[in-house]
Copies of this chain bind each other. A is one copy, B any other.
Amino acid sequence: MRQSNLLLTTLREVPSEAETISHQLLLRAGYIRQLAAGVYTYLPLGRRVLRKIETIVREEMDHSGTQEILMPSMQPAELWKESERYDVYGKELMTFKDRHEREFILGPTHEEVVTSLVRNEISSYRKLPVTVYQIQTKFRDERRPRSGLLRGREFLMKDAYSFDISLEGLDKSYLQMFDAYHQIFKRCGLNFRAVQADSGAIGGEGGSHEFMALADIGEDTIAVCSSCDYAANLEQAEAIQPIKKELNLELPVLEKFHTPNLRTINQLEQELEIQPEQIMKTLIYEGSGQFFAVVVRGDHEVNEIKVSKYIGAAEIGLADYDAVKSLTGVESGFVGPVGLQITVLVDAAVAEMIQGTTGAGEKDYHYRNVVPGRDFELEHVGDFRNVAEGEGCPHCEDGILHFEQGIEVGHVFKLGTKYSEKLEASFLDRSGKSQPMIMGCYGIGISRLLSAIVEQNHDDQGIMWPVALAPYQVHILMMSVKDSGQLAVAEELYNQLTKLGIETLLDDRDERAGVKFKDSSLIGIPVTLVVGKEAAQGRVEYLERTSAGKETLEIFEAVSHIQEFFSQLN
């Protein structure tokens, strides 16, 4: 491709709306343009990278025996009512009515459509298992679209769905997809981790893993073991269950004391000179129409996912000021578990405390010498908190957990029969008995991957594409298009490389050398050949985007040098 013909405009200024590096660079280097909040056009360079990702995904999907289909974006709302997700998704669903006033949903995901498809196509165990996938545009009305392609409202996904006759079958389908995902992300040159995850609003029971691209700006925190290969989303990471202690009845009795205006753990810590781990923090939640308290240590955070699962609520939230006041008689800073008339969930780390300090349920007062099990009931004890950095690994003896930030680029779920039961996708088993199909679903954020890769592969000059995803492999910079010698050399190299199937971009613009170098670094093609003054002496300069050095090559050896570079990578 000749750059003079390419629809490509680079920007010198950092666009003000772009906060993350990948968003800035993809805009500046002319890969994407915003049309509306969270809605992007892919310019030629961006489209090329997307297609490379699509090709890798297709190859690995096909290799795993998964069959490509294409389902519509327009989904009848009735299907979402059948699955009972219509209300769960709420405002994130983009919906519209057709000219006959029939309501449609712009698919954010396709469980309903694929389940209704397969229930009509397959009725016997003999046609199972089957796994299908599609690469397709999805829609989700994010409240706050941000970071460019990382959280958009219209985005490209690969979604796959497996249908099995048994849980063992699902395990196998899941593992096949899990392996394919490893392969895909590896081929994309991504630094990633597969972590245990919560299956969220989409999921049924059974397992779930997220594939996380490690990046400082990632919205997700991952707890990773320093010793074994345990890694889990913070939402999901298990806290070590402490050894159950004996109740010591000889401890000092409960003592109420005056703590004017000491409402936060911080204030208590500073004024009373006690450690946060000696404090019991009591929070009032609401979920599934009931109120309940959760008690965690002062240095711990409540994990709302774990709590909702225990309570059996789809969603929970902190109770508001009025509710707290009317339930406990006091504002939240002075609430404590002693004497509370609602269900109290006690985190295991609190249950194991000998004694501690809590709110007294009275303005400006706390209790000290509060003994769990003596001063309040230990009826609901469990893992209700986030793990903390430095804690022991729940899966091995030696490991210590540390945190990393990740961008979710893939997700595999064991759905079980959640959708097949609601949408009645069943099959006749060997004995002629009707059974619900056992499903899995598997997603990859194709467009998001593009941003994740840039987050991991850049320097202060611009993008540094992994070879497999680069829009072009080689960038030829002609220093002066008015120099007929340079022109001849550049054209010759361009033709030779192109003939060999090496995707080459030729900067044939009438621009200053500085502009060409700047643009080239910004765009981030792996190999650059500079055709400048030395071309007259039969020499060109060879640069690799990921290393600082440069080499001077004889023109006749340039092509073979490049071939060698790429062949070493395979």
Interface string of A105-129 (1 = CB under 8 A from B): 0100000010011101110001100
> Nearest residue in B to A110 (C-beta to C-beta)?
B41
Q: Are A41 and B153 in contact (CB under 8 A)?
A: no
Known: A33-B117, A74-B139. A69 touches B98 (CB 8 A): no
Query: A311 near B: Cβ within 8 Å?
Result: no
Interface string of A126-160 (1 = CB under 8 A from B): 11001010100101010100000000011000000
Known: A68-B44, A99-B143. A5 touches B117 (CB 8 A): no
User: Using a CB-CB cutoff of 8 Å, which residues 80-109 of chain A contact chain B?
Assistant: 91, 94-96, 98-99, 102, 104, 106
How far is B153's CA from A134's CA once the two chains are assembled, in angstroms? 20
How far is B126's CA from A33's CA once the two chains are assembled, in angstroms? 21
Q: Are A65 and B5 in contact (CB under 8 A)?
A: yes
Known: A36-B104, A43-B69, A98-B94. A154 touches B5 (CB 8 A): no
Q: Are B7 and A69 in contact (CB under 8 A)?
A: yes
Q: Are B73 and A44 in contact (CB under 8 A)?
A: no
A41 contact from B33, B43, B71, Cβ within 8 A: B71
How far is B141's CA from A94's CA once the two chains are assembled, in angstroms? 17
> Nearest residue in B to A91 (C-beta to C-beta)?
B99
Known: A120-B33, A141-B99. A47 touches B72 (CB 8 A): no
What residues of chain B lie closer than 8 Å to A98, measured between beta carbons?
A: 94, 141, 153
What residues of chain B lie closer than 8 Å to A116, measured between beta carbons?
A: 35
> Nearest residue in B to A96 (C-beta to C-beta)?
B96
User: Using a CB-CB cutoff of 8 Å, which residues 1-42 of chain A contact chain B?
Assistant: 1, 4-7, 9, 33, 35-36, 39-42
Query: A76 near B: Cβ within 8 Å?
Result: yes
What residues of chain B lie closer than 8 Å to A36, measured between beta carbons?
A: 72, 74, 76, 102, 104
Q: Are A94 and B94 in contact (CB under 8 A)?
A: no
Query: A67 near B: Cβ within 8 Å?
Result: yes
Q: Are B70 and A50 in contact (CB under 8 A)?
A: yes
What residues of chain B lie closer than 8 Å to A130, measured between beta carbons?
A: 5, 7
Nearest CB in chain B: distance from A122 CB, A: 7
Q: Are A42 and B69 in contact (CB under 8 A)?
A: yes
Q: Are A72 and B33 in contact (CB under 8 A)?
A: no
Known: A67-B44, A132-B44. A137 touches B35 (CB 8 A): no
Query: A75 near B: Cβ within 8 Å?
Result: yes
What residues of chain B lie closer than 8 Å to A139, measured between beta carbons?
A: 73-74
Known: A9-B122, A33-B120, A130-B5. A70 touches B99 (CB 8 A): no
Q: Are B91 and A132 in contact (CB under 8 A)?
A: no
What residues of chain B lie closer than 8 Å to A153, measured between beta carbons?
A: 74, 98
Known: A74-B36, A153-B74. A67 touches B99 (CB 8 A): no
How far is B494's CA from A538's CA once the two chains are assembled, in angstroms? 53
A71 contact from B35, B50, B106, Cβ within 8 A: B35
12 contacts between A and B (CB under 8 A): A1-B67, A4-B126, A35-B76, A39-B72, A39-B74, A41-B117, A44-B69, A47-B70, A48-B68, A73-B137, A74-B153, A91-B99
Question: Which residues of A line the B interface, CB within 8 A?
Answer: 1, 4-7, 9, 33, 35-36, 39-44, 46-48, 50-51, 65, 67-76, 91, 94-96, 98-99, 102, 104, 106, 113, 116-118, 120-122, 126-127, 130, 132, 134, 137, 139, 141, 143, 153-154, 510
